[in-house]
Amino acid sequence: MKKIEESNTGEYVGMSVLISVFLLVLLAALFLAPFTTTVSSDVNDTFQANVTVGNAVPNITQINFNDTVPTNPNITLNADNNTNVMMCNATIMDGNGWQDISVVNATFWHAVSGSIGASDDKNNHYTNTTCSITGTGTTATAVCKVFFEHEATNGTWNCTISAKDGASSTVSNSTSTNVEQLVALWINETAIHFGSMSVGMQSSTANQTNVSNQGNVKIDIQVAGNADMTCTGSGAIGVGNISYNITGGAYDTMSANKLSTTLSSTLTAFNLVSEGLTPFVENEIASNLTYWTINIPTGVRGECNNTITISAIMSSD
């Protein structure tokens, strides 16, 4: 009986060892499980790269002011208003890309305006705050356009272009060109109407025509008639039967200035300055009156007509 008991005890011990080993393995598996499950089984994984790029200050490498005719860079104005297109173009480099250029301004100014920061004035100062911008890569092209009035002062004009990028860094550059003198006028009336007169009559009062300065210099005037005044009924009125002056009066008082068929007898006292020179007067029109009288000879009848020319010359004053 004793041997049998010893045998059972050994079996119990063996079973206890097996159970203990199993429990240890189970506990180890449970303890290690949280660590082993964090290991990714994917082939690829990602992480972020980060860098901060500073601002590159733009640079105006080239600027051109109305260089469409390289052999004649001077600017010739037209007598009509708002027909003088001035162009100032710039090439702008920006290391952050041409799209980083946010604003381009252009100022066109004459030395008589005082400075680039002066107020706009038709005679000496124009601005464009919305120049067009195009580009590719790191190169931007800015096109700045304004309309010069005919009274823009002759002489040296400057174009200053300023560019600003997205970081508000600003750069500017300037160039210059020459605006030529413009001698021009405009006669406001289309005709002088002396009305109905009889043979042998003379004007007792003068008819008026209004002459405006359409240039950028002070002017005097010369006058001429193309021919005698031919009449529809009979005869002709000699061109010299018309008198003119810059002050009014009767025919007798103006007879010193008789019309001829050639431009002559400059009215040096006309002295009509260009428009816009009166301070603080917007849209000023520079104009002077001219006065005309006529003497009707015998031997004529009907409606009589001819053409009169008024020509501007630069004043010597």
Q: Kindly compute the dihedral angle of the four CA atoms of residues 260, 265, 270, 271, in this order, to the nearest 10 degrees.
A: 130
18-40 per-position pLDDT tens digit: 666 566 655 555 555 555 555 55
* pLDDT for position 168: 94
Direct distance between the N- and C-terminal alpha carbons of the chain, in angstroms, rounded to an integer: 156
Structure tokens at 300: 């004529």
Alpha-carbon distance 240 to 258, whole Å?
5
Domain range summary for the chain, segments of one domain joined by +? 1-37, 59-179, 185-314
pTM of this prediction exceeds 0.85: no
Q: Is-contact 63 89, C-beta < 8 A?
A: yes
* pLDDT for position 254: 87
* pLDDT for position 264: 77
Alpha-carbon distance 272 to 311, whole Å?
13
The three-point CA angle 63-64-70 to 5° equals 145
Q: Which residues of the chain have pLDDT under 50?
A: 1-7
* pLDDT for position 71: 57
265-294 per-position pLDDT tens digit: 788 899 999 988 765 566 678 899 999 999
Q: Which fold has domain 185-314?
A: Immunoglobulin-like (2.60.40)
Question: Do 59-179 and 185-314 show the same overall fold?
Answer: yes
Q: Is-contact 133 101, C-beta < 8 A?
A: yes
Homologous superfamily (CATH) of 59-179 is Macroglobulin (MG2) domain (2.60.40.1930)
Q: Is-contact 170 121, C-beta < 8 A?
A: no
* pLDDT for position 105: 96
Count the helices and strands in the chain (H runs, E runs).
2, 18
Q: Is-contact 205 251, C-beta < 8 A?
A: no
Structure tokens at 200: 């042998």
* pLDDT for position 4: 45
